[in-house]
Amino acid sequence: MIKAGIIGSTGYAGNELVRLLMGHPEVEVVWYGSRSYVDEKYANIYRNMFKLIEDKCLDDNIEKLSKEVDVIFTATPQGYLAGVLTEDILSNTKVIDLSADYRIKDVATYEKWYGITHKSPQFIEEAVYGLCEINRDKVKGARLIANPGCYTTCSILTAYPLVRDGLIDVDTLIVDAKSGTSGAGRGAKVANLYCEVNENIKAYGVASHRHTPEIEEQLGYACGGDVVINFTPHLIPMNRGILATEYASLKKVNLPDGSVGYPDEDMIRDCYKKYYKDEYFIRLLDKGMNPETRWVEGSNFVDINFVIDERTHRVIMMGALDNICKGAAGQAVQNMNILFGFKEQEGLELVPMC
């Protein structure tokens, strides 16, 4: 049994962490951090927890916290962790950061896309990008995990095998992503009011969204080169879920019969299987099934599939996940499981609820 603390426990990702950890047999949450609700009962804010949690919210004090727990989750705004992290903290405890502070290796890139000066670049190098299915081995033994973003997890996993094996031309990769509104956070903004979001769809951050360089960096590692993509997020009137629809031109490759040509359905499917067949949380759907967000709601699954368009020689890849679970808190717990040597799906065998 380990002890965990959450800084930012009253945001949407924070509350999902709480929900998941309550069902985890190896973890006890002992610190419900929330700058906005200090001294209020957690269950007064999130009444789903009524009678289930008696704790009150605590103010941010990561140094103190680091001495009391085995792992800290920071579900905090950009820049928070970078502003307070110290060597002491990292020598006391593991830190799993759900913000973007340590996701991008190049400080200049981070500062440009986020518009923030990075306060502790000295920890970037050692931080491990916690996309479990791809970086599992590096996660083991790390002190600081940069937990990937929701759009990023979905976008990368959907394309990764084809990028890695060179079946698509990465220069043609376009990611058109659609997210439920919980991704916008629990801040009181007019743009996220019910009446502004309901009966509406819009793109935002076109050609400028902060998740872009994160996707590019990781896919760059996969193919061993620079990747520059288009990524367009959209806001959808639903609470949870991300769907990424991704387009890329197929590359001519050596075919099994010795000729050169475009990979077919079987080759693409085999490529996905090669990387994902043993991954519990990645479900490669049967041919003809398009991923839908509702089938993964409340779970840590990513549903993936693709369609080849013979007319354009493009492959349309689709991935769906729950942005708050696999796209945030679920993956954080998965990282924790790896870090502490628990069974990777411990506490995460959640049946999606539709």
Among residues 30 and 307, whose Cβ is nearest to a second copy? 307
Q: Is 255 in the site for a second copy (CB under 8 A)?
A: no
Q: Is 150 an active-site residue?
A: yes
| CB of 113 vs a second copy, minimal distance in Å | 12
CB of 270 to a second copy, least distance (A): 18
Task: Tell me how far CA of residue 144 lies from CA of 76, 139, 154, 252, in angstroms.
Answer: 15, 9, 22, 40
Residue 48 within binding range of a second copy, rule CB under 8 A: yes
Binding status of residue 38 toward a second copy by CB under 8 A: no
Interface segment toward a second copy; rule CB under 8 A; list 12-20, 25-33, 77-85, 151-159: 12-20
* Residue 203 found at the interface with a second copy (CB under 8 A): yes
Joined tokens for residue 216: 């590019």
Shorter beta-carbon distance to a second copy: residue 160 or 306: 306
Separation of alpha carbons 288 and 33, rounded Å: 45
Q: How far is CA 343 from CA 194, 280, 337, in A?
A: 39, 12, 6
- Cβ 129 to a second copy, closest distance in Å? 22
Residue of 175, 134, 167 whose CA lies nearest to 271: 167
Tell me if 47 contacts a second copy by CB under 8 A: yes
Q: Which of 57, 132, 150, 325 is catalytic?
A: 150
199 near a second copy (CB under 8 A): yes
Number of residues that bind a second copy (CB under 8 A): 80
* C-alpha closest to that of 41 among 62, 58, 64: 58
- Structure tokens given for 307: 């369609």
Cβ 116 vs Cβ 78: under 8 Å: yes
The window from 18-26, 136-144, 159-167, 330-338 that contacts a second copy (CB under 8 A) reads 18-26
Q: Which of 28, 50, 64, 264 binds a second copy (CB under 8 A)?
A: 50
DSSP string across 63-114: HHHHHH-SEEEE---TTHHHHH--HHHHHHSEEEE-SSTTT-S-HHHHHHHH
Tokens encoding 137 = 């081995």
Does 241 help bind a second copy (rule: CB under 8 A)?
Answer: yes
| Residue 247 interacting with a second copy (CB under 8 A) | yes
Q: Are 330 and 322 in contact (CB under 8 A)?
A: yes
Binding to a second copy (CB under 8 A) within 312-351 occurs at 312, 314, 316, 318, 320, 351
Task: Look up residue 312 and give its DSSP letter.
Answer: T
What is the separation of C-alpha 38 from the centre of its chain, rounded to a whole number of angstroms?
28
**Which of positions 51-110 make contact with a second copy (CB under 8 A)?**
51-52
**Residue listed under structure tokens 């009253």:** 10
Site residues for a second copy, window 137-176 (CB under 8 A)?
172, 174, 176
Min CB(245)–a second copy separation in Å: 6
Q: Considering only residues 87, 204, 253, 264, which one is a binding residue for a second copy as defined by CB under 8 A? A: 204
By CB under 8 A, is residue 240 in contact with a second copy?
yes
Residues 178-197 that bind a second copy (CB under 8 A): 178, 180-182, 186-190, 192-197
CB of 10 to a second copy, least distance (A): 10
| Cβ distance to a second copy smaller for residue 68 or 111 | 111
Contacts 24+ apart (CB under 8 A), 276-281: 276/133, 276/161, 276/304, 279/133, 280/344, 280/345, 281/132, 281/133, 281/326, 281/334, 281/345, 281/348
Cβ 88 to a second copy, closest distance in Å?
34
Contacts of 216 (CB under 8 A, 6+ apart): 226, 227, 228, 229
Tell the smallest beta-carbon distance from residue 91 to a second copy (Å). Answer: 33
Q: Which is nearer to a second copy, 138 or 294 (CB)?
A: 294
**CA pair distance 162, 268, nearest whole angstrom:** 7
Contacts (CB under 8 A) with a second copy, residues 286-315: 289-299, 303, 307-309, 311-312, 314
Instruction: Return the active site residues.
Output: 150
